[in-house]
Amino acid sequence: MNLKLDYLNALTKLTNILSSQPLAFQFKFPQKLEIVTFMVELIKEEPLNSISSPIRQKAMNIITDFRNLRPLLEVEGRAELLSTCYKSVFCLPAVEALQKEASSPKEAQANVELFRETLQSLRRLLETLVVEKPTWTWYWLELLDTWLNSQKDNERERAMWCTACILGFTAKMNNFERREGRNRVCGKKRARAKSRVPTCSTTTSVRLPRLRKLWRASWNGSTCRWSPARRRRPYVLTGRHQHPHGRAHAAQQAPALG
């Protein structure tokens, strides 16, 4: 156990230094795939009935730190990695059980903190995979189906938490925001092309001289004139067909102007 932890600590320092370099993505690390495979094996060897050591957490952190180094993992390798991490984290006993199995309150608190840190390591690993391959996000979510349909409440809760993390992180990615912005702009352009009559939003302040050509406004099928004396008085349109003097004035003037 001590040899494993010493090895993981040394490897953590190495990967932190490499991944923090500005041009780390251009650096090819031939041993990356071999080390990632070894990290997966270490995670598989961890017991599922206790969380007495931080080995699985450190292994996931090392894999995450490798995100900027080449070569990238293949889809099959990522799927095996995620399946192993899901099983190693989701199958752990509930937090209450981890506390009861501890020999002292201090150990119980340490187990709870270690479990929370392990969950956060899994979250960072998921975010790394999404950044490397955004188009495969749906596949990482499909791998959670087994745990979302589990008979154990703690496994379903953890799987749902990971699902929410993936969706929340994906929705905040810059490329999704730019695409949404382009769709919004294109939608506005199409709407303007279809409409030849200028319209005003509900919060746009306008002046009557800008609307000199629009001498008539419809209200409930009726027609009423705007007073020329109020041309230079600014007001706020609350709708496309809103009369400047209000609904009551429009109703009174409609019969006379018919």
| pTM, 2 dp | 0.66
Residue type, 111: N
What DSSP letter does each residue of 230-257 carry, written as one string? GTTS-EE-SSTT--TT-HHHHHHHHHHH
pLDDT at position 18 is 83
The residue from 130, 158, 177 where one domain ends is 177
Six-digit token pair at 63? 């894999």
In a domain, 173, yes or no: yes
Residues 109 and 66 reside in one and the same domain: yes
SS3 assignment, position 114: helix
Residues 17 and 99 reside in one and the same domain: yes
The residue from 135, 162, 177 where one domain ends is 177
Residue 118, CB half-sphere, CA atoms under 13 Å: how many? 27
> How do residues 20-69 score in pLDDT, each as one tens digit?
887 767 777 888 889 999 999 999 999 999 898 999 999 999 999 987 78
Please report where in the chains the tokens 């780390």 appear, as a residue.
24
In a domain, 83, yes or no: yes
pLDDT at position 246 is 47
What DSSP letter does each residue of 4-56 carry, written as one string? HHHHHHHHHHHHHHHHTSTTGGG-B-TTHHHHHHHHHHHHHHS-SS---SSHH
- DSSP-derived letter for residue 71 is S
Distances 179 to 50, 75, 137, 172, 212 between C-alpha atoms, Å: 44, 25, 17, 12, 39
Say how many domains are in the chain: 2
Separation between Cα atoms, residue 146 and residue 49, nearest integer Å: 19
> How do residues 95-113 score in pLDDT, each as one tens digit?
999 998 888 899 999 999 9
Residues 148 and 229 reside in one and the same domain: no
Residues 129 and 36 reside in one and the same domain: yes
Residues 212 and 87 reside in one and the same domain: no
Residues 135 and 9 reside in one and the same domain: yes
The three-point CA angle 71-76-78 to 5° equals 65
| Residue ranges of the chain whose pLDDT lies below 50 | 177-258
Among residues 223, 249, 239, 94, the alpha carbon closest in space to that of 158 is found at 94
pLDDT at position 175 is 60
Q: What is the domain range of residue 143? A: 2-177
In a domain, 195, yes or no: no
Residues 131 and 219 reside in one and the same domain: no
Residues 209 and 149 reside in one and the same domain: no
Share of the chain above pLDDT 90, in %: 46
> 223 pairs with which residues across the strands?
218
Separation between Cα atoms, residue 215 and residue 136, nearest integer Å: 56
The residue from 137, 162, 177 where one domain ends is 177
Among residues 215, 193, 191, the alpha carbon closest in space to that of 201 is found at 191
In a domain, 85, yes or no: yes
Instruction: Provide the sign of the torsion angle of the four alpha carbons 224, 228, 229, 232, taken in this order.
Output: positive
Residues 49 and 105 reside in one and the same domain: yes
Residues 122 and 19 reside in one and the same domain: yes
Distances 242 to 165, 194, 228, 237 between C-alpha atoms, Å: 45, 22, 17, 6
Residues 119 and 242 reside in one and the same domain: no
